[in-house]
Amino acid sequence: MGMTMTQKILAAHANLESVVAGQLIEANLDMVLGNDITSPVAIKEMEKMKLSGVFDKDKIALVPDHFAPNKDIKSAQNSKCMREFAYQNEITNYFEVGEMGIEHALLPEKGLTVAGDVIIGADSHTCTYGALGAFSTGVGSTDMAAGMATGKAWFKVPSAIKFNITGKLNPWVSGKDVILHIIGKIGVDGALYKSMEFMGDGIKNLTMDDRFTIANMAIEAGAKNGIFPVDEVAITYMQDHSTRSYVVYEADADAEYEREILIDLSTLRSTIAFPHLPENTKTIDEITEQFKIDQVVIGSCTNGRLDDLRIAAKVFEGHKVKKGLRCIVIPATQQIYLDAMKEGYIKTFIEAGAIVSTPTCGPCLGGHMGVLAEEEKCVSTTNRNFVGRMGHVTSEIYLASPAIAAASAITGTISSPEQL
């Protein structure tokens, strides 16, 4: 029986000729990632296990991004813990404020993740790097601790769902709409502990930023990971960003999938996830009720890349943020911030009446830089809209693409650029 892309990568890293779904394996790791929330817990677990030192100072990345710049004493203490651990162990890839970014945008940009890697991160959206043809998945802080110390992790080999992507996206429709459409179709547990494997001739029409967005939200369908084939687009990205060698794995012709789902990009419309689950989706054409939006957030590990800012800036040109509405734009990395400045996007945002923040996860998890008050409504390009996710338990989050978010900031209600 043949293997999927994910199974081939896991087999190679477990030094096995083949693996099957459900098999328990111990795999070698190419990268272990932690942030300012999860790393301190992992560091304390290492101390409890009396583990000293790390397996490879070049294969650990520590990024303070969730509550950074520090919003209070507790977050400052957490960052201090991570900082001291990084210095003590001479961690190569420790990124302090001023050079850091949102972790899942930063690592690919720095060339730390490439095709064929096995990557774990103590953050659920570590699955982002599947866009480059890597196996990447989120783990708990205890697994992160063991990974930092040993360079190994245990996995149950996942079964897979094949998503056959065809066609080409229409104007104003992006990768965010693709993944929201998929989650709306299969549900938040539709791919539970499975590999979401994206294939088909339509993939060539998806940018790398589209792919990062889609892979990023695989976890919102319950998936263990999401993964894309390594084509010319991915290879060009890796050549532009990384000096590391990469390995291309392709699924066998007789690989086994639990099911196959056809996604015709040309049929998709802008899609919005209503409260309080990413599966509660409606297309822009299905929204009949009009209600006041209090805040718009454009950014996050899902949609804070340059393509996202470019689209949002294009919508904002010649328009103003609705009076009384707060619009927060967050470039995902310092480099993206610089590039957006050079392209004039930052000027466009500020002239439109938005504010632009240093890279941070802040508002996505209700941390800072945009916490919601009682009964406030927010259109956000982030990845989760659970109860209380961005603030007060009675607040509401509507997940959308940068195009929809920007248009909604202008009108004050959920809108598309076509309606401006």
Instruction: Convert the pLDDT of each residue in 184-228 to its tens digit.
Output: 999 999 999 999 999 999 999 999 999 999 999 999 999 999 999
**CA distance readout (Å), 78 to 65, 83, 120, 301, 364:** 11, 9, 21, 21, 19
Angle at 148 between CA 30 and CA 367, to 5 degrees: 100
The mean pLDDT of 165-181, rounded to a whole number, is: 97
For residue 85, the number of C-alpha atoms closer than 13 Å in the C-beta half-sphere is 33
Task: Specify which residues 28 forms β-bridges with.
Answer: 152
Closest C-alpha among 201, 252, 254, 203 to residue 226: 203
Per DSSP bridges, beta strands 152-156 and 24-28 are antiparallel
At position 280, the amino acid (one-letter code) is N
Q: Which domains does the chain have, with CATH numbers?
A: 5-264 (3.30.499.10), 272-419 (3.30.499.10)
pLDDT at 49: 84
Closest C-alpha among 336, 335, 281 to residue 308: 336
**DSSP H helices in 317-418:** 334-342, 345-352, 402-411
Per DSSP bridges, beta strands 152-156 and 160-166 are unpaired
Percent helix / strand / coil, the chain, rounded to 5: 40, 20, 45
Report phi then psi at 326, rounded to 5.
Answer: -100, 125
Task: Please give the Cα distance from 94 to 62 (Å, whole number).
Answer: 5
Instruction: Convert the pLDDT of each residue in 113-165 to its tens digit.
Output: 999 999 999 999 999 999 999 999 999 999 999 999 999 999 999 999 999 99
pLDDT at 289: 85
pLDDT at 341: 97
pLDDT of 1 strictly over 80: no
pLDDT at 153: 97
The mean pLDDT of 363-385, rounded to a whole number, is: 94
pLDDT at 127: 96
pLDDT of 87 strictly over 90: yes
At position 339, the amino acid (one-letter code) is D
pTM score of the predicted model: 0.95
3-state class of 246 per DSSP?
coil
The mean pLDDT of 394-410, rounded to a whole number, is: 97
Q: What are 375's two structure tokens?
A: 């009964």
Question: Is the Cβ–Cβ distance between 302 and 400 less than 8 Å?
Answer: no
The span from the first CA to the last CA of the chain, in angstroms, equals: 53
pLDDT at 52: 78
3-state class of 256 per DSSP?
coil
Task: Please give the Cα distance from 273 to 385 (Å, whole number).
Answer: 8
pLDDT at 50: 81
**DSSP H helices in 49-97:** 73-88
pLDDT at 51: 78
Task: Please give the Cα distance from 340 to 334 (Å, whole number).
Answer: 10
**Residues constituting the chain:** 420
pLDDT at 384: 93
Task: Please give the Cα distance from 406 to 293 (Å, whole number).
Answer: 12
pLDDT at 370: 93
Task: Please give the Cα distance from 273 to 379 (Å, whole number).
Answer: 10
pLDDT of 420 strictly over 90: no
DSSP code per residue over 3-37: --HHHHHHHHHTT-S---TT-EEEEE-SEEEEETT
Q: What are 368's two structure tokens?
A: 């800072």
Question: Is the Cβ–Cβ distance between 284 and 36 less than 8 Å?
Answer: no
Q: What are 56's two structure tokens?
A: 């490879």
Task: Specify which residues 136 forms β-bridges with.
Answer: 119
Task: Please give the Cα distance from 144 to 45 (Å, whole number).
Answer: 9
Q: What are 273's two structure tokens?
A: 């996830």
Q: Is the dihedral of CA 9, 10, 14, 19 positive or negative?
A: negative
Give yes or no for a cis peptide into 241 (omega within 30° of 0).
no
Instruction: Convert the pLDDT of each residue in 32-66 to its tens digit.
Output: 999 999 999 999 999 888 877 899 999 999 999 99
Which element (helix H / strand E) includes 233?
helix 232-241
